[in-house]
Structure 1
């Protein structure tokens, strides 16, 4: 998987084709939005209909039945990749086996899929022939760190999504702090409230349904082998995180894995 300028240009063209960002100039869009609400609190609420009984169906009073559904062909020309939002973001830190390359990048195709062993998936767009730096390092070293993004470093995490050539580290672009791990050589993000040291179990490459022979994605299955949690967000039993601490992502509040937390 040799890297060169042409490969980097191809990756950028692929990102344009996917059209993940529909806004054009995002800074203009952001400027039109309300100001950040400092101190806005996370809170738990009742469900919309706490007296719901089995068989009662939807809780919107039949509003759903006033609107028709429109058929969509996922292979229609120019069709965006997905409509599943919001999704947790996997903030993946990797290091090449020889240590010559480090990478830090966010991925929206990510999820926790099992608790014993703790298993996570990360989906990378493009095949191995155009492997993103993160995937290249992950396969080379067999290791990574999954960091959960929180409010206090949103901008820095977003900055790491730049298409930088292989060997250019996103750590310096973000200003985030690398911290050593116990079982992997990749660094964890010290600012993260929750991080998972991971070992690569397997990968699977996927072929396009539209263009036979073109590889469009790689799925990586990663086992969590060690956890790091910020002490002020962790409960006494060390099996839950408080989502009210610096607006921890909701996924963190339900991670109850049978593994030691470092």
Structure 2
């Protein structure tokens, strides 16, 4: 079922092994003595460089160029591994989306961007729009390969649960299952959707924004504090999306207090 480029397999084989024991460490910020008005911490080096102006809609510029630029520059991006099911309950779907973000906490709101249109919606958007329900699962290191496999272009009706080998766990408020392997899962209900039109091809719908309200949180018991208010980064070990086919690990962090006026 899977097809992997032989050249990439050779490149992958030449790389060092994944360090499963790599722990999250905290280091000092680049300039621990930074004070008000100091500006950048690079000694003014960034001020010596020029910038290239790009009009995303200039004549002759391929849409793919905007895509490649944005996904390589807007990094790292959180990944929403979304589970849905059809309105009749006969088919289930699981797919990753890196056009996703938390936008509010009261109520808990999330946005997910889908490429395409409602009329020709792919599996996840089709199910979400029909049932108004989903589960957002956060991807961790221990199942990144399985999560990546759910991005396969399987036809509607083929379950990515089986392709990935991930396990379904029961939910409380919505019908779609959550991913048992996920340390954080959020049951969600659709608030609204908005379609967007292409700038290069007027009249063509090219994107859909979904706003989803989180109605239940599921956190693995060894990752949550006693007050059930903080998730341990060292247990979560989240995976983020970078450009191309690259993913990022979170193993190095810094802490900078928020200033008070």
Find the residue that maps to 2:129 and give its secondary structure: helix
Measured after TM superposition, the shift of residue 68 of structure 1 is 1.2
Alignment of 1:7-18 (within 5 A): none
Q: Is the 8 A contact 1:152 1:246 kept in 2?
A: no
Looking at structure 2, the residues matched to 201 and 31 of structure 1 have their Cα atoms a distance apart, in angstroms, of 45
Corresponding pairs, count: 228
Looking at structure 1, the residues matched to 115 and 16 of structure 2 have their Cα atoms a distance apart, in angstroms, of 33
Counterpart in 1 of 2:115? 125
Looking at structure 2, the residues matched to 193 and 204 of structure 1 have their Cα atoms a distance apart, in angstroms, of 30
Ranges of 4+ aligned residues in structure 1 off by more than 6 Å: none
Counterpart in 2 of 1:214? 204
User: What whole-Å deviation, never above 9, does each CA across 1:104-133 have from its counterpart, x for those lacking one?
Assistant: 000010000001000000000011122110
Q: Is the 8 A contact 1:193 1:248 kept in 2?
A: no
> Structure 1 or 2: larger strand share?
2
Q: Is the 8 A contact 1:179 1:187 kept in 2?
A: yes
User: Aligned-residue CA RMSD in angstroms?
Assistant: 1.7
Counterpart in 2 of 1:111? 101
Looking at structure 2, the residues matched to 60 and 50 of structure 1 have their Cα atoms a distance apart, in angstroms, of 13
Q: Alpha carbons of 1:110 and 1:211: their partners in 2 closer, same or farther (altered >3 Å)? A: same
Looking at structure 1, the residues matched to 153 and 6 of structure 2 have their Cα atoms a distance apart, in angstroms, of 17
Q: Alpha carbons of 1:227 and 1:136: their partners in 2 closer, same or farther (altered >3 Å)? A: same
Looking at structure 2, the residues matched to 94 and 182 of structure 1 have their Cα atoms a distance apart, in angstroms, of 14
Counterpart in 2 of 1:16? none
Q: Is the 8 A contact 1:198 1:225 kept in 2?
A: yes
Counterpart in 2 of 1:228? 218
Measured after TM superposition, the shift of residue 44 of structure 1 is 2.2
Q: Is the 8 A contact 1:118 1:223 kept in 2?
A: yes
User: Paired residue for 1:79, among 42, 65, 72?
Assistant: 65
Counterpart in 1 of 2:257? none
Q: Work out whether 1:58 is the aligned partner of 2:40.
A: yes
Q: Alpha carbons of 1:235 and 1:123: their partners in 2 closer, same or farther (altered >3 Å)? A: same
Looking at structure 2, the residues matched to 167 and 59 of structure 1 have their Cα atoms a distance apart, in angstroms, of 53
Alignment of 1:1-262 (within 5 A): 26-75=8-57, 76-77=61-62, 78-81=64-67, 82=70, 83-245=73-235, 247-248=237-238
Measured after TM superposition, the shift of residue 26 of structure 1 is 4.6
